[in-house]
Amino acid sequence: MTDTVPTAVLAMTGQSIWVDNITRDMLRGQLQEYIARWSVVGLTSNPTIFAKAISGSRDYDAQVAELAARGMDEEAIFFELALSDLGRACELFLPTFARTGGVDGWCSLEVSPLLADDARSTVDQALALHARAGRPNLFIKVPGTAEGVPAIEELTWRGVPVNVTLLFSTAHWRAAAEAYVRGLERRVAEGKSLDVCSVASLFISRWDTLLDPKLPAALKNRIGLGIGADCYAEYVAMHATPRWLALEAKGARPQRLLFASTSTKDPALPATLYAAGLAAPRTVDTMPEATLKAIHAGPPVTAVLPTDGGPLRRALAEARAAGIDLDAAAAELQAQGAKSFVQSWNDLLTDIRAKGGALAARW
């Protein structure tokens, strides 16, 4: 029997594997290995990832020192660092982008999380970052908060590729999907091309971290998978509606559902729990490196999520019957996620300020 590569088998289900990390050390070789042999076709980043990368190595010290000596503030320095890293990553993924016709080969850069409650400033910064990057395969990440939804529509209408982040429920996803569709419909009305790309990132594992202490044993570690399955069923259904098909006939691309936060937080659980459970065609799974390595080292994923979500959805009804308010939990998770990114952002800027001050004098 021919040996198979488990990540390649997962990719053959129709799901795109992206890696949720970026460091300069990774850019020196490991990312090329992932692309060439592990079927990785995209990359995501966020403030927490960059905070760990910049504080955890000296790879950024020389550039921080130079930029600080030029009088740049911490936020400006960060975006210079991030655009440098993501520019290199975008170059590595350009062959994938070309080969897939722009379906894959994407990298992502997030706007400042301090703008999550300000749609106008989010749009302005997203437009500026997209223009500065000058990369055809760079998504700008925008939070899917109530205040972020108008920004998603506006940026789609302007032709900026958006990765919607901080989605925790089917209702959150639906609001982001509707914003994307409205942006496309505005482009149709003005005779503009519909060749605009987007993904909508649904966070999975944090559900079980939040709810497991409140649930009976039979429901533990099932809610995250249930949320993913429920959203996938709605995603499939939306793309079979006359409204969507009319846009698709004019050249529109689906805003693909992306499963994020697919690492397990409980060390007693299989590292592949969420990634294996949510293998679904025409979706994306962005995996932390530990999850990617666990998939690569484990048995091939053979079960594909049914288009109606299958039995995984039952956990949601059972949770409601046990007294769990899933809508309130989704709101809590989104607020926690936004707060966590703000904390990472502030930590990141503090570290850059400290490094810049110490290094600029020597520079």
2-28 per-position pLDDT tens digit? 578 999 999 999 999 999 999 999 999
**Beta carbons within 8 Å of 30's beta carbon, 6+ residues apart:** none
Amino acid at 12: M
Q: What is the mean pLDDT of the chain?
A: 94
Distance CA 195, CA 197 (A): 7
Domain extent for 121: 6-362
**Inside any domain, residue 251:** yes
Residue 356 has pLDDT above 80, yes or no: no
* φ, ψ at 87 (rounded to 5°): -60, -45
Identify the CA nearest to 201 among candidates 231, 245, 234, 238.
231
What global pTM score does this model have?
0.95
Q: Exposure of 234 by Cβ count < 10 A (0-12 exposed, 13-18 middle, 19+ buried)?
A: middle
Is the model's pLDDT at 177 over the cut of 80? yes
The pLDDT assigned to 1 comes to 40
pLDDT tens figures, 68-109: 889 999 999 999 999 999 999 999 999 999 999 999 999 999
Regarding beta strands 107-110 and 162-167, do their DSSP bridges make them parallel or antiparallel, or are they unpaired?
unpaired
* Beta strand pairing call for 162-167 and 198-203: parallel
> What are 162's two structure tokens?
């958006």
Share of the chain above pLDDT 90, in %: 88
Q: What is the pLDDT of residues 281-307, one digit of tens each?
A: 999 999 999 999 999 999 999 889 999
Strand order in the sheet with 138-143: 40-44, 16-20, 283-287, 256-260, 198-203, 162-167, 138-143, 107-110
- The span from the CA of 84 to the CA of 204, in Å, is 30
Please say if the pLDDT value at position 357 is more than 70.
Answer: no
CB 296 within 8 Å of CB 33: no
The structure tokens 């065609």 sit at 281
What is the spatial distance between Cα 69 and Cα 361, in angstroms, rounded to a whole number? 8
pLDDT score, position 363: 47
* 1 within domain boundaries: no
Share of the chain above pLDDT 70, in %: 97
pLDDT tens figures, 227-269: 999 999 999 999 999 999 999 999 999 999 999 999 998 888 9
Taking only Cα atoms into account, the Rg of the chain, rounded to an integer number of angstroms, comes to 20
Distance CA 149, CA 137 (A): 22
pLDDT, position 355: 77
Q: Strand ranges (DSSP E) for 204-317?
A: 256-260, 283-287
pLDDT of 253:
97
CB 290, CB 271: distance < 8 Å: yes
Q: What is the pLDDT of residue 57?
A: 87
Contacts of residue 88, Cβ cutoff 8 Å, sequence gap at least 6: 27
Whose tokens are 């490094």? That residue is 355
- Predicted confidence at residue 361, as pLDDT, reads 53
Active site residues: 141
Res 146 pLDDT > 90:
yes
State how many domains the chain has.
1
Domain of residue 348, CATH code: 3.20.20.70
Q: Say which residues have a Cβ less than 8 Å from residue 246's Cβ, sequence separation at least 6.
A: none
| CB 286, CB 18: distance < 8 Å | yes
